[in-house]
Amino acid sequence: MASTPLPEWLTRLLAEMDEEMTLRGYTRQTRRLYRAHVRRFYLHHSEAGAYAGVDEARRWLLDLLRNGYSHSYVNQALSALRFVHRSVLEQPLALSGIPRPKKKKALPKVLSPAEVRSFLNALPSPKHRAIAFTLYSTGLRVSECARLKVGDVDSSRGQIHVRQGKGRKDRYVMLSPVLLRVLREYAHVERPHDWLFPAGHRRDRHISVRSIQRQIVRAAKTAGLRKRVTPHMLRHSFATHLMEAGTDLRFIQELLGHVRPSTTAIYTHVARRHIRGVRSPVDGLFGVDDGVGDG
């Protein structure tokens, strides 16, 4: 069934919006998401044309929340609407009074070291094994992993160059001896040329994020893990396990590519080392020695 063609004015608006985002250096993914939000909003309020106002926007965002969309999703939708009003329609004040929904502060879900080992051992092919080892041993975002090139792996210096990560910033992460061995085993079979992880037989394209996500979910089921494993869970596990090993928080922040230390500090709430290293005052009251009940 063919989709309904967009009104001409909306097609022009989306094109102007994309040009403005491109000039400002927005990533392809962000541009795609923002265009989709604006498209859905204006199709929902097509009778108002390009100048749907603050009341329509408030009702639409409230409907999203009431229909179960996450606060992060609604915040992103609001950002898209504010962008098009401020930078394309030149109406910066139109949506300035709409508050952002407060995000839920949920702790990141992580795997135990034993679960990571079972998961990594369950990966069937050298390519998927190399991708999963890269995600866990470096803490890369899945999009950063997908876009790695062969030349980014510097075995002589023991590091990987992450180009244009989130916020369009470059950084370096460590290349562990174990990961290097896994990558060499993979390269011996697959012979990557430009992209480290090409898209199947299309050597001119890198693997898609969605393809990596599917393989991660499949491997977790094969390993018998009850948790819903995602590439981002491997990133969370990397950071948490580093913290449990005593790695400085500032160094973890640099490896993850976080701008603010407060973003990285959330792992202090997950790391077991910090909890187990603190003695409850009740133990002092009743004379319990350190280490008792540590099973």
Say whether 141 is catalytic.
Answer: yes
Q: Considering 149, 163, 218, 232, which one is annotated as catalytic? A: 232
Terminal alpha carbon distance of the chain: 61
Among 58, 109, 258, 273, the one annotated catalytic? 258
User: Which of 62, 14, 70 lies closest to 42 in space, CA to CA?
Assistant: 14
The one-letter code for the residue type at 53 is G
Report the SS3 class of residue 280. Answer: coil
Selecting among 44, 166, 218, 273, the annotated active-site residue is 166
Which letter, b or e, does each residue of 40-72 get, where b requires 16 or more Cβ atoms within 10 Å of its Cβ?
ebbeebeeeeeebebebbeebbeebeeeeeeee
Residue 239, judged by CB atoms within 10 A of its CB (0-12, 13-18, 19+), counts as: buried
What does the alpha-carbon distance between residue 18 and residue 88 come to, in Å, rounded to a whole number? 10
Q: Which residues contact 121 (CB under 8 A, 6 or more apart)?
A: 223
Question: Is 218 considered catalytic here?
Answer: no
Residue from 35, 127, 129, 141 carrying the catalytic annotation: 141
| 235 given a catalytic annotation | yes
Task: Give the span between the Cα atoms of 154 and 140, in whole angstroms.
Answer: 16
Q: Which residue out of 127, 128, 129, 235 is catalytically annotated?
A: 235
| Among 58, 62, 72, residue whose Cα is nearest residue 104 | 72
Q: Specify whether 267 is catalytic.
A: yes
CA 115 to chain centre: 21
Catalytic residues: 141, 166, 232, 235, 258, 267
